[in-house]
């Protein structure tokens, strides 16, 4: 009896302590956030820094604990960024934009979309300036849209072209006895090289080089156009690292002046002919209440934008990965809503589970029979990411999108050698003769054959569905497939994409197909934040990812992520087995 009383009293004590902790946090939050309401003042400059990692879509949902304690958001959505820039264009209180980028975590196609929004903003005649202590290549590419670019006198501008590094795991597997058994379609060669070889094949090197040159061609052209220099000059500067100090950057017309930040603020003040101006961050601006709503009018016509972002897995899915359950629910909800006149499916994915991809494809096919379906591709829409996009009425991609990679493979982890090295042996007893797979035994040749038949079947299904969706023959798609990746620009040339453009253009296209002029945007899916998720943002509740990153450091953490991701590749995959890290 005393034992039971102790348990009950301990439980009551725990919940009382937990309640007191919450009350304490509320008191702290109130004391720290007494002036948390964001007010937009006259003569304001919108500051765009983009320090927070960017996703295509982050639900406009308030985390009560983060809001209470004034903690920074974990991510910011492209949907919020682009909407804020468009609003600022017509907001009389906003006099201009100051681009102040620092160590941005953003994909190249996302960057291109933000850049386009800033170019459109400039049509208002308002000021757009840029300043940084130093510019990384992505930060500089974004900043080239500015009327004038400024850098710290001891800063630099990184303009070096593009490169990509691929990690190979063959020696690692041989050394530790942990092997990834690869089953692939016969002509799907380069995709699984990291698990089979120690170096890049010439065909794969040529493929990646062609992709990088296509992407860089667009970046160099846009940079040259914005800075009023030639593409030849851009490439010369990249070859010579002609922005490696502020003097060279000025000499090569990469910047307009090398000055300190206080002088930069004076430049803005002089340009606006004001005695003083206020600044507001992009994140704070998205919280302000405005007197008008973009893309909104009294009628109830809607364009549904469904965001599919991350690797494709079999399961529920969330803000970070695409699961068929959540995605099908969102697609069906949009398709059955009479107010929704068209659907835009925004894909930002390197692919993943073949089964999940096919289930999502089917849901989109059903939705397309009810209303127009337009796809917008983000940084990636490759392999399974292309599979779920191929049946749309129209496909839009940025010129810098990485797409294609129409191929299939299977990966089977095998620790037979490792287990023997540490003294573990396995034996199996079965009732039937069909081949079995075990990570502790050598791969059965018969099991390999059965799996290969499945891979070949999925590949043929993939190619057939692309052919049907794109109005091409099987052989035409097969020629473009075999795992080859393409830039968005190349994909348009070979028929895998219809138009070059971002999400805004895709929405306009969907509205045109639906024959509606007045509409508002409704975003899907609706992510539900649970109480336990709110605590992840608390200072004393670090995530596993944060802890591992702190222990390993940034560069080692990237390697850890690549190795850790292998355990999630179950079943037949339609994926880029390595995501190109383009620098």
Q: Which residues are catalytic?
A: 189, 383
Give, as one character, the DSSP assignment of residue 153.
T
**Dihedral sign for Cα atoms in the order 8, 11, 13, 19:** negative
Instruction: Tell me how far apart the alpha carbons of residues 92 and 87 are, in angstroms, rounded to a whole number.
Output: 10
Give backbone dihedrals phi and psi of 348, rounded to 5 degrees, phi first. Answer: -140, 80
C-beta separation of 94 from 277 below 8 A: no
Instruction: Tell me how far apart the alpha carbons of residues 243 and 74 are, in angstroms, rounded to a whole number.
Output: 32
Question: Going by DSSP bridges, is the β-strand pair 409-414/572-575 parallel, antiparallel, or unpaired?
Answer: antiparallel
C-beta separation of 374 from 409 below 8 A: no
Give the dihedral of Cα atoms 416, 421, 423, 428; nearest 10 deg: 10
For 401, half-sphere exposure in the C-beta direction (CA atoms, 13 angstrom radius) is 36
CB atoms within 10 A of CB 160: 17
Structure-block tokens of residue 340: 């929704």
Structure-block tokens of residue 68: 């209470």
C-beta separation of 386 from 403 below 8 A: yes
CB atoms within 10 A of CB 475: 9
Structure-block tokens of residue 151: 């850098």
Instruction: Tell me how far apart the alpha carbons of residues 65 and 61 are, in angstroms, rounded to a whole number.
Output: 12
């Amino acid at each position: 009896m005393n034992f039971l009383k102790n348990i009950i009293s301990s439980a009551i004590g725990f919940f009382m302590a937990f309640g007191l902790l919450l009350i304490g946090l509320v008191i702290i939050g109130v004391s720290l956030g007494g002036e948390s309401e964001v007010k937009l003042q006259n003569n304001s400059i919108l500051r765009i820094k983009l320090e927070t990692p960017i996703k295509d879509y982050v639900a406009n949902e308030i985390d009560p604990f983060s809001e209470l304690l004034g903690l920074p958001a974990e991510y910011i959505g492209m949907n919020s960024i682009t909407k804020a820039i468009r609003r600022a264009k017509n907001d009389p209180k906003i006099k201009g934009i100051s681009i102040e980028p620092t160590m941005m975590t953003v994909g190249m196609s996302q960057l291109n979309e933000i850049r386009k929004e800033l170019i459109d903003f400039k049509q208002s005649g308002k000021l757009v300036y840029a300043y940084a202590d130093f510019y990384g290549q992505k930060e500089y590419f974004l900043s080239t849209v500015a009327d004038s670019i400024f850098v710290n006198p001891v800063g630099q501008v990184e303009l070096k072209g593009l490169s990509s590094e691929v990690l190979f795991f063959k020696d690692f597997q041989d050394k530790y006895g942990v092997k990834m058994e690869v089953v692939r379609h016969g002509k799907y060669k380069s995709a699984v090289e990291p698990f089979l070889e120690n170096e890049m094949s010439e065909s794969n090197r040529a493929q990646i080089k062609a992709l990088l040159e296509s992407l860089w061609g667009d970046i160099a052209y846009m940079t040259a156009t914005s800075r009023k220099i030639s593409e030849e000059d851009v490439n010369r500067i990249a070859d010579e690292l002609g922005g490696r100090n502020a003097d060279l950057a000025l000499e090569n017309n990469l910047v307009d002046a090398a000055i300190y930040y206080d002088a930069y603020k004076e430049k803005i003040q002089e340009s606006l002919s004001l005695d003083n101006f206020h600044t507001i961050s992009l994140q704070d601006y998205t919280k302000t209440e405005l007197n008008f709503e973009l893309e909104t009018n009294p009628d109830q016509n809607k364009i549904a934008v469904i965001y599919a972002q991350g690797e494709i897995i079999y399961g529920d899915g969330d803000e970070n990965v695409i699961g068929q359950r959540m995605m099908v629910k969102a697609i069906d909800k949009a398709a059955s809503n009479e107010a929704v006149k068209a659907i835009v499916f925004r894909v930002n994915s390197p692919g993943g589970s073949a089964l999940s991809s096919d289930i999502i494809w089917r849901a989109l096919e059903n939705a397309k029979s009810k209303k127009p379906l337009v796809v917008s591709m983000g940084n990636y829409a490759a392999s399974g990411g292309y599979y779920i996009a191929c049946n749309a009425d129209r496909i839009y991609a940025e010129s810098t999108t990485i797409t294609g990679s129409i191929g299939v493979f299977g990966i089977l982890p095998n620790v037979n050698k490792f287990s023997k090295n540490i003294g573990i042996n396995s034996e199996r007893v079965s009732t039937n003769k069909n081949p079995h797979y075990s990570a502790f035994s050598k791969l059965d040749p018969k099991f390999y054959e059965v799996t290969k038949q499945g891979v070949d079947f999925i590949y043929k299904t993939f190619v057939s569905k692309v052919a049907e969706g794109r109005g091409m023959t099987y052989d035409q798609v097969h020629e473009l497939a075999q795992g080859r990746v393409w830039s968005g620009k190349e994909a348009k040339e070979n028929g895998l994409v219809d138009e070059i453009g971002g999400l805004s253009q895709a929405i306009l296209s969907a509205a045109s197909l639906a024959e509606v002029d007045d509409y508002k945007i409704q975003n899907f899916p609706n992510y539900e934040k649970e109480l336990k998720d709110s605590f992840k943002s608390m200072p004393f509740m670090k995530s596993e990812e944060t802890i591992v990153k702190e222990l390993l450091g940034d560069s080692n953490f990237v390697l850890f992520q690549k190795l850790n991701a292998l355990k999630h590749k179950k079943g037949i995959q339609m994926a880029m087995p390595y995501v190109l890290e383009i620098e």
